[in-house]
Amino acid sequence: MPLKSLISLGVAAACVLAVAPAAGAATSPAPPTTTTTVITTTPSDSIGGLPASSLDGSVAYVPSSAAKHTAFAAQKDTGATGYDISWPECGGAMPPASSIAIVGADGGHPFSQNPCLQQEAAWAATANTHAQYMVLDSPIGFTSPHVLQYAYHGPAGDCTATEYYCQSFNWGYNAAYSAVQNATAGGATSTKWWLDIELPQASSINPPGAQCYTPNFWVCDQSLNSTVVLAAELALRQQGKDVGVYSTQKQWGAITGGLPLGGPIWIAGYDYPAPTYCDVANASKYWFAAGAPEFVQSLPATYDPDTAC
């Protein structure tokens, strides 16, 4: 069942932003009108293990009401420094003890695992502020087994090959649910999570036109990309997590069209002093997602350095 049908039933008001395409934007084909039975449920311990709905959309399984959105606690250590690490640092020494420690929960894409998570989580646990992050992308166009499992089945129901909103919601939601389970098993238990929304390469997003819905890291349809992000945020909040976004103004705009998610942001990979990006006077240049910066990441040396705003 397409997510846009769920919105009218009051599943998650915030998702309206994701499923309302911009004027002139391409959309997925509309399914036949059906009478839908909606069953509220919670995710099982087996990802993708929600009861199956029929492909004609006659039954839809939706998440139970999300917990009230909570922003990160105010950062009291302005100017505090630390590092973020993930699978690329596997096999090397851990960074020195620091006030900030952020660990990647996956191997660079949804449903993968950071093979060094346990070691890195142990390092992070000593920091005053520690958190996890997870990478998101789009499932549209892919036919690998894990996409067929986690995008085509989940809390938005069972999706057909052209129900792109349905696939996007399931993918983001199941990815975040899976990431928390894997992180917890690896000892990374902070309640603070960051959604990593970026373009690995300039070509990692499809151009508008015939190639829009072909497989790539992100598709050209910003409403579908936003649906992935909103579904992941919803799944994290349902598991009692505080959620922020790691990106840049340019990448966030290209991927989501500037989705005003709210909450804290973590500004990626800049080479000017952190106060330049923390200063509200520069918000129009560097801030995004209708949020304020919690951290600024500088260009890496041995490790990626981070500074609290």
Statement: residue 70 has pLDDT above 70: no
What pLDDT digit, counting tens, does each position of 254-288 carry? 999 999 999 999 999 777 889 999 999 999 999 99
Mean pLDDT value across residues 187-210: 96
Percent of the chain with pLDDT over 70: 75
* Per-residue b or e along 198-216, where b marks 16 or more CB atoms closer than 10 Å to that residue's CB: bbeeeeebbeeeeebbeeb
Note whether 196 and 134 are within 8 A (CB).
yes
List phi, psi (to 5°) of 305.
-90, 145
Q: Which residue has the higher pLDDT, 32 or 166?
A: 166
Q: Which residue has the higher pLDDT, 82 or 47?
A: 82
Q: What pLDDT, on the 0 to 100 scale, is given for residue 26?
A: 39
Q: Give the largest Cα separation in the chain, rounded.
A: 58
Full-model pTM: 0.79
* Cα separation, 216 vs 223, whole angstroms: 16
Q: How many Cα atoms occupy the beta-carbon half-sphere of 135 within 13 Å?
A: 19
How many distinct helices (H) and strands (E) make up the chain?
9, 10
Beta-carbon count within 10 A of 93 CB: 9
Q: What pLDDT, on the 0 to 100 scale, is given for residue 76?
A: 53
